[in-house]
Homo-oligomer: A and B are copies of this chain.
Amino acid sequence: MAAAATTTTTTTASYSTKHNLSLPTNHRLNNNNSLGFHSLRIRPLSLTCSRSAKLSVKASAATPVMETSKFSSSAAPTIVDVDLGDRSYPIYIGSGLLNQPDLLQRHIHGKRVLVVTNTTVAPLYLDKVISALTVGNPNVTVDSVILPDGEKYKDMDTLMKVFDKAIESRLDRRCTFVALGGGVIGDMCGYAAASFLRGVNFIQIPTTVMAQVDSSVGGKTGINHRLGKNLIGAFYQPQCVLIDTDTLNTLPDRELASGLAEVIKYGLIRDAPFFEWQEKNMHALMARDPDAFAYAIKRSCENKAEVVSQDEKESGLRATLNLGHTFGHAIETSYGYGHWLHGEAVAAGTVMAVDMSYRLGWIDESIVERVDNILKQAKLPTSPPEMMTVDMFKSVMAVDKKVADGLLRLILLKGPLGSCVFTGDYDRKALDETLHAFCKS
């Protein structure tokens, strides 16, 4: 954020009109802040303001709930800082951010950029991104590599195409890789950036809800192996993440819903007020209300950023972000990548984790019902595909990354809404019962 001046929430900033930046003016908050700014979250960006004091953004599960129906879109990005010491980076969130070249260009340090995207996203946004990278900046040369679209291409063969392009283009250590697309592109481009010449700069432009609320935060990169998801990869942080919420306009309904599975997860594991907000606003999200989405993305990024800041390499706390993922990965691996979207598998997996938590006596039945309801509202599956068997689940779960010395640890809900544990200390019978309850054989 070298050139980014920031404003604190109690200061009226000076805004540059020539960059067409304006403040969101009609946020309605319940914290009685007379300036109309959220007390902790919103960092409007001014490109001319010279104040450089860094605002520490600390998300809290007790954040007041916003009513999104009163929001309006704005060109001023909200910034969520991911605090990781010398690997910290900003996430810019807002409408029309791809029309603000400065946001990207401040994070490009060399003269060469490689945009990694796929056959679906390239026709929609590649020209726009190249323009954002180069307008007024003739020294920068942009190459691009367009990969086939889909989880089934998240493999070593496809990754090699990125290396081939980078090497054939004679990119050097000062180049920047830009991921333009969903989670698959972000994970592959990130791992390529981590590995090319042992590490080059990396920027993420996520274009799906899933990528915006999950894979854009925290630096997990990688590819799948035929025997399991994300088994090969690196922890590697980007220089910045740019989330232009306008890109959601072209996202298919199923993809949109898939991302909501992760949004719902944040509420369940650590942010009860956010879950309650979702219960009230799921209709707005399903109707693609841009302000509802901007808030859901921001709150999701903040939740994830806070977890990742405390546990970058997933020694414990960070694993809680995988609620529903152990069951979900088993579904994706057994059913074949590409039949179900990641969020669809996670949704069914979440139902199974919640079911198991209930069988263990760790949560009330009301939580089971609320999870079922909200997932149905989001048009997400609440049970695994019929072809899944108990043995399929057990076989894949045995090679899960969360197995330690042979013991499978799971993320389970425990206590009131918004509380979870990551543990291998549970009655195996409950796991067996859950698997049998959701599988015919």
Which A residues have a C-beta under 8 Å from some C-beta of B? Answer: 110-112, 156, 160, 163-164, 167-168, 170, 172-174, 191, 194-199, 220-222, 225, 227-228, 230-235, 313, 398-399, 401, 403-406
Q: How far is A168 from B233 in the complex, measured between Cα atoms in Å? A: 17
CB distance from A262 to the nearest CB of B (A): 19
Given the known interface contacts A195-B232, A225-B167, the answer about A172 and B313 at a Cβ–Cβ threshold of 8 Å is: no
Question: Is A404 within 8 A of B172, CB to CB?
Answer: yes
Given the known interface contacts A167-B399, A398-B170, the answer about A110 and B405 at a Cβ–Cβ threshold of 8 Å is: yes
> Chain copies in the assembly?
2
Contact of A232 among B170, B196, B228 (CB under 8 A): B196
Question: Is A222 within 8 A of B198, CB to CB?
Answer: yes
Which residues of chain B come closer than 8 Å to A199, judged between CB atoms? Answer: 234-235, 313
Given the known interface contacts A198-B235, A220-B198, A235-B198, the answer about A399 and B160 at a Cβ–Cβ threshold of 8 Å is: no
- Residue on B nearest A405 in the bound complex, by CB: B111
Which residues of chain B come closer than 8 Å to A234, judged between CB atoms? Answer: 194-195, 198-199, 234
**Majority secondary structure of chain A interface residues (helix, strand, loop or mixed):** mixed
Which residues of chain B come closer than 8 Å to A173, judged between CB atoms? Answer: 401, 403-404
Question: Is B404 within 8 A of A168, CB to CB?
Answer: no
Q: Known pairs A172-B405, A198-B230; list 8 more (Cβ under 8 Å).
A: A167-B227, A170-B403, A172-B401, A174-B405, A191-B195, A195-B195, A197-B401, A198-B235
Q: How far is A233 from B326 in the complex, measured between Cα atoms in Å? A: 29
Which residues of chain B come closer than 8 Å to A164, judged between CB atoms? Answer: 225
CB distance from A260 to the nearest CB of B (A): 26
Which residues of chain B come closer than 8 Å to A110, judged between CB atoms? Answer: 404-405
Q: How far is A199 from B314 in the complex, measured between Cα atoms in Å? A: 11
Query: Could you name 17 residue pairs across A and B whose Cβ atoms are closer than 8 Å?
Result: A110-B404, A111-B405, A163-B232, A167-B231, A168-B227, A170-B398, A172-B406, A173-B404, A191-B195, A194-B234, A195-B195, A195-B222, A197-B401, A198-B220, A198-B222, A198-B313, A199-B234
- Residue on B nearest A228 in the bound complex, by CB: B167
Question: Is B198 within 8 A of A163, CB to CB?
Answer: no
Which residues of chain B come closer than 8 Å to A170, judged between CB atoms? Answer: 398-399, 403
Residue of A198, A225, A313 ringed by the most chain B CB atoms within 10 A = A198
Question: Is B111 within 8 A of A406, CB to CB?
Answer: yes
Which residues of chain B come closer than 8 Å to A227, judged between CB atoms? Answer: 167-168
Question: Is A404 within 8 A of B174, CB to CB?
Answer: yes
CB distance from A234 to the nearest CB of B (A): 6
Contact of A156 among B160, B196, B222, B225 (CB under 8 A): B160
CB distance from A163 to the nearest CB of B (A): 6
Given the known interface contacts A195-B232, A404-B172, the answer about A163 and B398 at a Cβ–Cβ threshold of 8 Å is: no
